[in-house]
Amino acid sequence: AQKITQTQPGMFVQEKEAVTLDCTYDTSDQSYGLFWYKQPSSGEMIFLIYQGSYDEQNATEGRYSLNFQKARKSANLVISASQLGDSAMYFCAMRPHRGGNDMRFGAGTRLTVKP
Amino acid sequence: DTGVSQNPRHKITKRGQNVTFRCDPISEHNRLYWYRQTLGQGPEFLTYFQNEAQLEKSRLLSDRFSAERPKGSFSTLEIQRTEQGDSAMYLCASSLGRGRGSSPLHFGNGTRLTVT
């Protein structure tokens, strides 16, 4: 069974600084994808970034980058140059590349950006 | 393309009543997912369709829950004999079915159910 762990219920960061949100996972699958989603207070889930388990380079999307350490089974999200609009819940998720393809989510981290 | 659409946005019902939610996925997406999210938690997987076939159901989906996706287009999620523990946000998502599972899920805005 897959398990996603986000150990930081809440994080604070000063505007314009970088912040790292932690995610570890447990799976017996060899091939899988890792995703991060943002959920603002309005409720919609917004896809941010994807990392495949066989990708050799860490994924980047604008101010978002994924620090992927496969041996440690961690996929931390790094947000650079934080903005007030980054305040939201952030969810790490994993999806195996085989079979059912259902995506499992962690419990989330609430990020607050301070001015 | 307007994204994933869910109706209604909010539903208040009395315990014991039946409710039905609708999800219209992104038109070219052949996969459709239902999730449930309670306050302060991540989405929990309920069930998933590829086209009209329901391929996987979570054990969270008791026999009071049923989902359909006739003709592989929109989907409905019905909850019979609602209980207060069913109060949650019900999220629908869709994705493309090709590739090695790298397609992200695109979520709707959800239906918030309150059972009184």
Q: What is the pLDDT of residues A90-113, one digit of tens each?
A: 999 998 877 656 789 999 999 999
CB-based contact B34:B110 (threshold 8 Å): no
Residue B107 has a CB neighbour count (10 Å cut-off) of: 24
Which residues in chain A have Cβ-Cβ distances shorter than 8 Å to B91? 45
- A17-30 pLDDT, tens per residue? 999 999 999 988 88
> Are B42 and A106 in contact (CB < 8 Å)?
yes
Residue B8 has a CB neighbour count (10 Å cut-off) of: 13
Question: Which residue type is seen at A26?
Answer: D
Rounded Cα distance, B69 and B8, in Å: 17
- B47-83 pLDDT, tens per residue? 999 999 988 888 878 899 999 999 889 999 999 999 9
B85 near A CB under 8 A: no
Question: Residue A63: CA atoms inside 13 Å, Cβ hemisphere, count?
Answer: 12
B59 near A CB under 8 A: no
DSSP string, chain B: ----EEE-SEEEE-TT--EEEEEE--TT--EEEEEEE-TTS--EEEEEEETTEEEEE-TTS-TTEEEE-GGGS-EEEEESS--GGG-EEEEEEEE---SSS-PPPEE---EEEEE-
Q: Is the pLDDT of residue B108 over 70?
A: yes
A31 near B CB under 8 A: yes
Mean pLDDT of A69-89: 97
Question: Which residue type is seen at B38?
Answer: T
> Are B42 and A108 in contact (CB < 8 Å)?
yes
pLDDT of residue B99: 57
pLDDT band with cut points at 50, 70 and 90 for residue A38 = very high
| Segment holding A76, helix H or strand E | strand A74-79
Query: For B97, which residue in chain A has the nearest alpha carbon?
Result: A101
Q: Which two tokens stand for residue A7?
A: 């150990």
